[in-house]
Amino acid sequence: MLSGPRRVGKSVILQQIAQDLVAEGRDPRSILHLSLEHPLLKIPNLLEILGLYHDHIHPEGAPTVLLLDEVHYSPDWDVAIKGLVDRNPEYRILATGSATLSARKALAESGAGRWITVPIPTLSFYEFLRIREQAFPDLPPGLTPRSLFDLEAPERLKITSALRPLLPLFQRYLLLGGFPETARLDDIYLAQKLLREDVVDRVLKRDMTSLFGVRNIQELERLFLYLCYHTGGIFQASTCAGELGVNAQTVNNHLDLLEQAHLVYRLSPYGMGGKQILKPRQKVHLVDSAIR
């Protein structure tokens, strides 16, 4: 299971895997690539689709590769895939999901020991530079942020001077975001418009109601806006609830949804001991700075 935010490149990974398998000599008919977000594929059961595929397309005797994009849109997908894996251990299945609340619940109940979840994050700054074909300065091998403190002042100055030309690009990275599609754009306004419409609004206004059954979208949007203003800060549900005029349980429930939908993530303190570990003061970060 490839799990990550919308527009982060999960569908492209499936396409690349299919192309690589064909290039290696696998019969294309033995590879079934489905986008289960398509309206026509949301109604039938996954097993019904696979039955038609095996009856009319799949070559007899060839191992089957299933590439299932946005699998959580298919009804009872977890039960269907569990049955397929149990009856057909030769199947190779790769699925993606952007809204993982229902997916993780299904994995825990039906797919224990059968699935490996691989998180797909947004681009790092280095990957952002690579995708924009920007030159990267030569740095000492094995250099890490921690090792900078062990260097002499002249050596540190040499490294910071080499990195200084990247500062405008880093500022652009913070505005364009770590999404492959927007990273290639030069128009910052267009990039942020795409992220707002296809990442944030689509999750808040469609997935939250259709997949998670959220009724009060306005409360959820207000919480997300609050987190945009306070990203990276220590989060206290009671303080947030007081400012938004809701109860703390509602805040915690909605925060869980936003995290499972890959809009935010929580970061627990590192290196705590004793009684402190019983009451950790978590920080909440946006999944990418550009979606603020």
Q: Which residues contact 271 (CB under 8 A, 6 or more apart)?
A: none
**Structural tokens at position 126:** 């280095």
> In this predicted model, which residue has the larger pLDDT, 242 or 83?
242
DSSP code of residue 234? B
Q: For residue 212, is pLDDT > 90?
A: no
Q: Which two tokens stand for residue 256?
A: 């869980």
Query: What is the percent of the chain where pLDDT is above 90?
Result: 59
pTM, two decimal places: 0.85
CA 143 – CA 2 distance, rounded (Å)? 30
Given a contact cutoff of 8 angstroms between Cβ atoms, the answer to whether 284 and 230 are in contact is yes
Lowest mean pLDDT among 9-23, 141-155, 218-232: 141-155
Domains and CATH numbers, the chain: 2-119 (3.40.50.300), 203-292 (1.10.10.10)
